[in-house]
Every structure is written in structure tokens, then in C-alpha cells.
Amino acid sequence: MEKKRNISMAVIRRLPKYYRYLNELMKNDVDRISSKELSEKIGFTASQIRQDLNCFGDFGQQGYGYNVKDLYREISSILGLDEQYNTVLIGAGNIGQAIANYNFDKFGLTLKAIFDVNPKLIGIKIRDVEIQDIDNLEQFLKDNKVDIGVICVTKSSAQKICDTLVANGVKGIWNFAPVDLQADEEVKIENVHLSESLLTLTYLLNGRS
Amino acid sequence: MEKKRNISMAVIRRLPKYYRYLNELMKNDVDRISSKELSEKIGFTASQIRQDLNCFGDFGQQGYGYNVKDLYREISSILGLDEQYNTVLIGAGNIGQAIANYNFDKFGLTLKAIFDVNPKLIGIKIRDVEIQDIDNLEQFLKDNKVDIGVICVTKSSAQKICDTLVANGVKGIWNFAPVDLQADEEVKIENVHLSESLLTLTYLLNGRS
């Protein structure tokens, strides 16, 4: 892993969108695309596209545009998709089960274990992974190298689970609990706050300013 | 509904977080809070907090800070939470079922109907709402005023569902399909792109720049 230059989160958050559009272009057998054509599809300006991609390297060619397959591979690598991520999921309620069923293998994640407190859920399998008692979590983390922990527990349990994960070497947290988790800076936390997304929608629909 | 001033999406996206923290403070019986104290909790600078809230009104008081309950009520109203939103959900797969089970009533949404193409799902109830055949969607929208459509179908069906919703007066779309939907500007679309969130995490963990 190379040391990252100081690239803004705004740029980083646009990268997965480039990745998604380039994937679509490849599927449609498009070999090359200009920043102007890409702009019409993706909705960013051509100059923003050039600027964003220039943060990571010199990919385009004047008068030719971007080679779709090459740029896709580059962005894939930039996004860390050359790596494999051992993953555990904690909290097999509605959201947890949906995420456990979500096909994130294509992004290099392998679901190694699922944990819950609910005795009714323990022993049930989701995609061949058995739900275990949460009491097994710590030992599992000591016995297995885990890269990403997906937290789908309640707000009140999330920080404790996060602490256990981090204390046992987990460096990435995908957090679905409606709380801002605290951890060392080297731990990367990405939140999916459904209620915040929904409140943005109600604001846009009916809010006042 | 009043006409909105031109407030940036960055400010708007911070509002639900203020709402969440103020809710916590109320639960903990905190009556008032300074921007400095709020800053320590929420992680924005005190000056950003004052600036954000000033976009919407004159809420704080020099030397006193913010009255928690008043500010909570104000932000609730700013976020459009005084209103009721008749809601339909389309696509009762894993994510769709999780969202249908999600307690969004507290934000004013009432789940009126769920639709799916899968005959095995039709007739099943989630929180007392029966899953209907997708063929009923258009007629349902003609017979009922629906404010928000939650799209949890596959990428390939999402735009068609969006078109049906919009053609029948739905003004808000909460989209979980991994695609950017096209609609008139007056239609508000809020996306939850899980894969983009996950790729941000893999980038932060292992990406290169």
C-alpha cells in the first residue's frame, strides 16, 4: 500500500461512480470515450472529470479520450479492488440480513462470519455462513485475520462492537447503526445512515429555509 | 411550502446530523448547549455550526447558546418533518424487505403499499402491508395520493418504475437501485448507493493514489 497523497473526500466519493459508469461502458462494448461524452452520461462537467482523474495519474490522451478498459482497471486498482477483504457482519436483523445477502464478493469482500445476540437467529445460515453467538466474536477475531467489520446492531451496542473489532485488529468498519463511532484515526469508518438520507429527501420535498 | 433560499447541499446534508444529536441531547435532559459544546459532540467546528444554523434563522443567543428543545423543533420543521408522506415501496427483495421493516413512521412516512414481480412474495405481509403484484402499481397510484416511492428493484427495472411513479404524481424517490435515475427537476431523488459507500471504504483501506 502506497502512501496516499492528500486527495479530497469529494473526489474520492466520485470515484465509485466513475467505476460504475466505466463498467457499464465495458458491458456495452465501448472501447474509448472522451471526457465530454463521459460528462453527458455521468453528469459531471468534462473539466471536473479530467481534474478528478488527474489526481491519480495521466490516463487520457489528447484527441483520443480514455481507453475504457484501461481506465476501468486503473480505477479498480485505485479503489483497492485488487485486494481481498475478510469480513464479519454483526447484527443479523433486517438490515444485517439484507447486507449479508448482498453480493459484495465482486468487490473482494468474503463474508467469514455473522454474529447476533438473538438465540432464534443463531445457527441459521445466510449464503452458507452460519449466524454465531455474539459471545464468539472476540475469539473469532483472535483466530482469524479480519479486515472489515459490518456493524448492523442497534445504536446502543454499536460502539462496544466497534471497540471489540478495533481492539482485535479490524481496520475497516462499514457502519449501518445510526451513531457516529469513535476509533483511532488509522481505522477507516464508512457510515450508511439511512435516516440521514431519508431526512435529506423530506427536506427537499417539503422543508423550509 | 415556502420557496427555498439557495442553501448548499453540503449544509442540507449536515442538518439530519444536527437533528440526531439534538434528539440525543433532549433524551439526556440537556436544556441548552453552546455551539462550542455541540461542536465537541458532533465534530463540526463551532463556527461551522453557527454558520449552518444561521442559514435557516437566528436560533442561538449570545452567552446562552441554543435552547435544545426549540432548536430541535425548528430543525424538525426545516427538515419537513411536520408533514405526512404516503409512501410505496417497490421491490421486496432483501433490501426492500429490510427497508419496509425500517421504522420510518417517526419521520412522517406511512407505508401504504409494497409491490413486487415475484409471485412467491405476493400476498405476504410486512408490518401489516401486503405485497401486491407490480401490475397493480399504476392503478394504485391513480387511486391514492402517494408522495414518496422507495425503489428497491434491480438496476434494469429501476428507471421504468421511476417513470411510472413520476407519471402518476410521485414527487420524491428514495432510490436503492445502483443506477442514476432520470426525472424532471421538480422530482427529488435521494440515492442510497451501497456499493459506492463500500468502495469508498476499500479505497480508504487499501487504495492507491
* Rounded-to-integer distance, Cα B199 and Cα B192, Å: 13
**Chain A residues lying within 8 Å of B12, measured CB to CB:** 200, 203-204
How much is the CA Rg of chain B, to the nearest whole Å? 20
Helical axes A9-27 vs B194-206, angle rounded to 10°: 120
pLDDT of residue B162: 98
Largest CA distance in chain A: 63
Residues of chain B contacting A107 with CB distance shorter than 8 Å: 195, 198-199, 202
- CA-based nearest distance B11→chain A, Å: 10
**Do A85-196 and A9-78 fall under one CATH topology?**
no
Is A11 an interface residue toward B (CB < 8 Å)? no
pLDDT band at B209 (very low <50, low <70, confident <90, very high): low
Cβ pair A95:B102 closer than 8 A = yes
Element (H, E) at B87: strand B85-90
Contact B147, B172 (CB under 8 A): yes
- For residue B1, pLDDT over 60 is answered with no
Q: Which fold has domain B9-78?
A: Arc Repressor Mutant, subunit A (1.10.10)
DSSP lists the bridge partners of residue B110 as: B86
Look at residue A38 and tell me whether its pLDDT is greater than 60. yes
User: Which residue does chain B place closest to A156, by CA atoms?
Assistant: B24
Distance from CA of B77 to the nearest CA of A (A): 7
B167 touches A: beta carbon within 8 Å: no
Q: What's the average model confidence in pLDDT over A111-120? A: 98
The pLDDT of B91-113, averaged and rounded, is 95
Taking the C-alpha atoms of residue B198 and residue B80, their distance in angstroms, rounded to an integer, is 29
Query: How far apart are the C-alpha atoms of B15 and B51, rounded to whole Å?
Result: 12
- A85-196: CATH topology is Rossmann fold (3.40.50)
Q: Is B195 exposed, middle or buried (0-12, 13-18, 19+ CB in 10 A)?
A: middle
pLDDT in tens, B130-155: 999 999 999 999 999 999 999 999 99
Average pLDDT value for residue range A141-152? 98
Own/partner pairs, A70-73, CB within 8 angstroms, 24+ separation:
A71/A18, A71/A22, A72/A19, A72/A22, A72/A23, A72/A25, A72/A26
Quote the pLDDT of residue B5.
64
Q: What is the largest CA-CA distance in chain B?
A: 63
Tens digits of per-residue pLDDT, B36-70?
A: 999 999 999 999 999 999 888 888 887 889 999 99
The predicted structure's pLDDT at residue B205:
95
A167 touches chain B (CB under 8 A): no
DSSP code per residue over B19-82: HHHHHHHHHTT--EE-HHHHHHHH-S-HHHHHHHHHTT----BTTTBEEHHHHHHHHHHHTTTT
Enter the C-alpha cell of residue A15.
470515484
| C-beta neighbour count of A5 within 10 angstroms | 9
SS3 A77: helix
B182 touches chain A (CB under 8 A): no
Return the residue of A nearest to B81 by Cα: A202
Going by pLDDT thresholds of 50, 70 and 90, the confidence category of residue A160 is very high
Any chain A CB within 8 A of the CB of B28?
no
Average pLDDT, chain A: 93
Residue A147: name the closest of A112, A184, A172, A111 by CA. Answer: A172
Q: Which amino acid, B206?
A: N
For residue A60, the model assigns a pLDDT of 80
Chain B closest-CA separation from residue A145 CA (Å): 15
Residue B4 has pLDDT above 90, yes or no: no
* A-proximal residues of B, 123-142, CB under 8 Å: none
What is the Cα–Cα distance from B68 to A71, expressed in whole angstroms? 50
Confidence grade of residue A6 (pLDDT, cut at 50, 70, 90):
confident
B10 annotated as a binding-site residue: no
The predicted model gives B165-193 an average pLDDT of 97
Task: Count CB-CB contacts under 10 A for residue B185.
Answer: 5
Number of H-type helices and E-type strands within chain B: 8, 9
- B86 pLDDT tier (thresholds 50, 70, 90): very high
Percent of chain A surpassing pLDDT 90:
87
Give the span between the Cα atoms of B133 and A147, in whole angstroms.
41
- In the DSSP assignment, the letter for residue A105 is G
* Euclidean distance between CA atoms B51 and B40, whole angstroms: 16
What are the sequence ranges of the domains in chain B? 9-78, 85-196
Give pLDDT, residue B3: 46
B207 to A80: CB separation less than 8 angstroms, yes or no = yes
Q: Is B198's CB within 8 Å of A205's CB?
A: no
> Among B78, B107, B204, whose Cβ lies nearest the Cβ of A188?
B204
Q: Is A4 on the interface with B (CB under 8 A)?
A: yes
Tell me if B208 and A4 make a contact (CB, 8 A cut-off): yes
Q: What is the ipTM of this complex?
A: 0.94
Contact B199 A79 (CB under 8 A): yes
Q: Annotation-wise, does B95 bind a ligand?
A: yes
Work out whether strand B129-133 and strand B125-126 pair parallel, antiparallel, or are unpaired: antiparallel
What phi and psi, each to the nearest 5 degrees, are found at residue B109?
-85, 135
Mean pLDDT on A186-200: 96
B201 confidence band (pLDDT: 50, 70, 90): very high
A8-22 residue pLDDT tens: 888 999 999 999 999
C-alpha cell at A156: 446502543
- Tell me the three cell numbers of residue A53: 482523474
